[in-house]
Amino acid sequence: QVQLQQWGAGLLKPSETLSLTCAVYGGSFSGYYWSWIRQPPGKGLEWIGEINHSGSTNYNPSLKSRVTISVDTSKNQFSLKLSSVTAADTAVYYCARGRIKPYCSGGSCRGAFWFDPWGQGTLVTVSS
């Protein structure tokens, strides 16, 4: 059974760079979308971005200028960096494995995408 374990600094000052790493245990690294998702205190989930095993990335347009997601396939790890953080970036950050599958019927196709499993979450607080 695949498990994700994440770690990184939990307290940052404004303008610093957030850095988190997620290790993948017990499963293949290829064929998935390794993702980061965050949740501000008391609020909903926000998709940050993803990377596949070959290093192709896709980011939330609202964060794109500050986000870098990278992968180290030799260690089965992927990482998140978010630069120039402010208090608005205070959140629980989750890593997750994303998977996509097409469903085709009668000549038309529809996609399905889901996140499973998730890491345990890391609370990152930005405060001066």
Partner 1 sequence: SSELTQDPAVSVALGQTVRITCQGDSLRSYYASWYQQKPGQAPVLVIYGKNNRPSGIPDRFSGSSSGNTASLTITGAQAEDEADYYCNSRDSSGVGVFGGGTKLTVL
Asked if 26 and 1 count as a contact pair (C-beta separation under 8 A), the reply is yes
Contact 17, 81 (CB under 8 A): yes
Check residue 65 and report its DSSP letter. Answer: T
Kindly give, in sequence order, each residue whose CB lies less than 8 Å from that of residue 76, ignoring residues fewer than 6 positions away. Answer: 23, 24, 25, 29
Q: Which amino acid is at 59?
A: Y
Residue 116 lies near partner 1 (rule: CB under 8 A): yes
Q: Considering the rule CB under 8 A, would residue 114 count as an interface residue with partner 1?
A: yes
Which is nearer to partner 1, 8 or 16 (by Cβ)? 8
Site for partner 1 in 30-69 (CB under 8 A): 35, 37, 44-47, 50, 58, 60-61
Q: Which is nearer to partner 1, 11 or 45 (CB)?
A: 45
Closest to partner 1 by CB, 74 or 103: 103
Give the range of 7-15, 24-32, 83-91, 106-114 binding partner 1 by CB under 8 A.
Answer: 106-114
